[in-house]
């Protein structure tokens, strides 16, 4: 089974051929932590979360990197009553909470830009050495990428340099061409010393684009499989990432992927219109699992139009999503009253849709088709068929991150006591440790390491003694 994915650079759906078969490396541009997350940010995170889950379902080991841009012009401008780093961290926590609320898995790595400044220096030095970057002509500590030195500049968005807007990131007097963009930005008088770093070109801070190129290289290597992000990042951000990484001689991304944006009542969200739907608004208006269902039901590349009921979120699109998802939940409840749901795999129609550039509208249609079939079997008293269909529905819901029984939708719920949670955790850990003992006995050390790593990723420390293995929460 080959997974197919739309490559924005080739403007075509292509077979995903990972550099290392069975492993997929993904870099997704994360937020600039300057103000609270809105529904567009949540949509992007959910889109790539479903990609990741589907690629894993198809047997790939996915390394998923999503960065945090914690130093940027906008972070400095918005930090009025607090240090810039305090604002960045406060907003980062809001993003983490919003992502977690809608069931987005934590990335494999989530680097902050400020922790990779030496790697940015190395990349800038390489670009200067190769003749694609230069220190500012006006003697400041700025360093620019020389767009005219790189014939492929504009390849991602199919633009010619002459028709591009100037890069408004610095005084054009320091530039060879007004479209040259900043890799390193000299510290300005009014900027705090804490927001600047020493560099071979003088004190300053990185440009936004070089941050992502350096972090992708640091965590995924010189070449990786998929680069993702919102459609609004295609130019200049992704065009510049592509130019600087390939001009430095790196393979960079094989596939460029972009998720669509979210409109509200047919209009683009904007500060001036005051129509932005923040993550907090969304999560206050509808159950988080329904918010995720609403986002997943549209194809990740399409524009989602969120319809309100005269400005109220409790109506319109979200009410429809609540009704549609409620039908699936009611069926599952009915089926569970009949018997235990069997472990089933996803139906072929669902798999084919997901393999075809993650066509979730068709996949969700298959889910509803299965729901109707389960209800019909229940009505007809055919319990075996009903349970089989319900088992398939659960398999599909799991891949979409929408299993109503998943702990993520119940964390902090008052129905479960701490003791019950501890008992459940102990039972799960013991099961995994038993599997690991079996793997070791069979000399399958890869499997045994995988289990230990999975436990470590969940914050559980495993210690092997002479005869016994103990565990603790790290
Ligand atoms: Zn980026």
**Ligand 1 centre from 233 Cα, in Å?**
8
- Show the tokens assigned to 358: 């993650």
**Ligand 1 centre from 212 Cα, in Å?**
5
Residue 58 sits in the same domain as residue 30:
yes
Check pLDDT > 70 for residue 417: no
Beta-carbon-side half-sphere exposure of residue 38 (alpha carbons within 13 Å) = 18
Place 412 in a pLDDT band, splitting at 50, 70 and 90.
low
Q: What's the domain range around 436? A: 418-473
Residue 268 sits in the same domain as residue 223:
no
Among 260, 276, 307, identify where a domain stops: 260
**Ligand 1 centre from 448 Cα, in Å?**
35
**Ligand 1 centre from 270 Cα, in Å?**
21
**Ligand 1 centre from 36 Cα, in Å?**
18
Check pLDDT > 70 for residue 416: no
Distances (CA, A) of 171 to 143, 144, 186: 12, 11, 11
Cis peptide bond N-terminal to 236, omega within 30: yes
Check pLDDT > 90 for residue 451: no
Residue 178 sits in the same domain as residue 72:
yes
272-304 burial code (b ≥16 CB/10 A, e <16): eeebbbbbeebbebbbbbbbbbbbbbbbbbeeb
Check pLDDT > 90 for residue 207: yes
Residue 155 sits in the same domain as residue 299:
no
Kindly report the pTM of this predicted structure.
0.86
Among 411, 445, 465, identify where a domain stops: 411
Residue 226 sits in the same domain as residue 82:
yes
Averaged confidence pLDDT in the chain: 94
Radius of gyration of the CA atoms of the chain, in A: 25
Residue 365 sits in the same domain as residue 232:
no
Residue 268 sits in the same domain as residue 256:
no
Residue 256 sits in the same domain as residue 276:
no
Residue 386 sits in the same domain as residue 444:
no
> What is the mean predicted confidence (pLDDT) over 258-285?
93
Residue 235 sits in the same domain as residue 288:
no
Which strand (E) or helix (H) includes residue 184?
A: strand 181-186
pLDDT tens-digit series, residues 137-157 = 999 999 999 999 999 999 999
In terms of pLDDT, which residue wins out, 459 or 136? 136
Which residues, at least 6 apart from 425, have a Cβ–Cβ distance to it below 8 Å?
none
Q: How many domains does the chain have?
A: 3
Euclidean distance between CA atoms 456 and 472, whole angstroms: 10
> What is the mean predicted confidence (pLDDT) over 332-347?
97
Residue 110 sits in the same domain as residue 212:
yes
Which residues, at least 6 apart from 409, have a Cβ–Cβ distance to it below 8 Å?
103, 287, 288, 289
CATH code where residue 232 lies: 3.40.50.620
Check pLDDT > 60 for residue 24: yes
> What is the mean predicted confidence (pLDDT) over 108-123?
98
**Ligand 1 centre from 264 Cα, in Å?**
25
**Ligand 1 centre from 209 Cα, in Å?**
6
Identify the pLDDT of residue 422. 67
Place 415 in a pLDDT band, splitting at 50, 70 and 90.
very low
Residue 463 sits in the same domain as residue 449:
yes
> What is the mean predicted confidence (pLDDT) over 97-122?
98
Look up residue 411 and give its DSSP letter. Answer: T
**Ligand 1 centre from 241 Cα, in Å?**
7
**Ligand 1 centre from 82 Cα, in Å?**
25
Check pLDDT > 60 for residue 376: yes
Among 411, 435, 455, identify where a domain stops: 411
Identify the pLDDT of residue 471. 81
Place 413 in a pLDDT band, splitting at 50, 70 and 90.
very low
**Ligand 1 centre from 32 Cα, in Å?**
9
């Amino acid at each position: 089974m080959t997974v197919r994915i739309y490559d924005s650079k080739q403007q075509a759906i292509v077979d995903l051929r990972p550099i290392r078969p069975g492993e997929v490396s993904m870099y997704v541009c994360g937020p600039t932590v300057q103000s609270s997350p809105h529904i567009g940010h949540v949509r992007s995170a959910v889109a790539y979360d479903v990609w990741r889950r589907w690629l894993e379902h198809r047997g790939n080991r996915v390394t998923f990197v999503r960065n945090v841009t914690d130093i940027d012009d906008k972070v400095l401008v918005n930090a009025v009553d607090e240090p810039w780093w305090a604002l960045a961290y406060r907003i980062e926590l809001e993003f983490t909470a919003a992502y977690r609320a809608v069931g987005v898995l934590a990335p494999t790595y989530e680097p902050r830009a400020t922790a990779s400044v030496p790697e940015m220096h190395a990349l800038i030095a390489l670009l200067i050495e190769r003749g694609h970057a230069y220190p500012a002509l006006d003697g400041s500590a700025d360093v620019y990428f020389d767009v005219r030195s790189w014939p492929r500049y504009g390849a991602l968005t199919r633009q010619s340099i002459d028709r591009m807007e100037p890069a408004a990131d610095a005084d054009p007097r320091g530039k060879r061409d007004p479209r040259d963009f900043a890799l390193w930005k000299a510290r300005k008088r009014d900027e705090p010393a804490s927001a600047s770093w020493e560099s071979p070109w003088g004190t300053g801070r990185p440009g936004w684009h070089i941050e992502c190129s350096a972090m992708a290289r640091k965590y995924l290597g010189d070449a990786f499989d998929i680069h993702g992000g919102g459609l609004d990042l295609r130019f200049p951000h992704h065009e510049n990432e592509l130019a600087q990484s390939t001009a430095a001689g790196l393979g960079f991304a094989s596939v460029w992927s972009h998720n669509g944006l979210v409109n509200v009542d047919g209009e683009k969200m904007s500060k001036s219109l005051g129509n932005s739907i923040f993550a907090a608004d969304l999560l206050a208006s509808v159950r988080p699992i329904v918010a995720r269902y609403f986002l997943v039901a549209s194809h990740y590349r399409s524009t989602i139009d969120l319809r309100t009921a005269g400005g109220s979120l409790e109506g319109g699109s979200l009410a429809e999503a609540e009704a549609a998802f409620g039908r699936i939940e009611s069926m599952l409840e009915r089926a569970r009253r009949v018997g235990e749901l069997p472990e089933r795999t996803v139906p072929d129609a669902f798999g084919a849709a997901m393999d075809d550039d993650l066509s979730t509208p068709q996949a969700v249609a298959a889910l509803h088709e299965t729901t109707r079939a389960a209800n019909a079997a229940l009505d007809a008293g055919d319990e075996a068929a009903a349970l089989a269909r319900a088992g398939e529905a659960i398999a599909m819901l799991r891949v979409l991150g929408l299993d109503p029984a998943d702990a993520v939708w119940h964390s902090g719920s008052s129905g479960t006591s701490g003791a019950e949670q501890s008992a459940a955790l102990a039972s799960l850990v013991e099961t995994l440790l038993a599997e690991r003992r079996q793997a070791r006995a069979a000399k399958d050390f890869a499997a045994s390491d995988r289990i230990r790593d999975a436990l470590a990723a969940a914050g559980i420390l495993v210690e092997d003694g002479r005869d016994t293995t103990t565990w603790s929460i790290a």
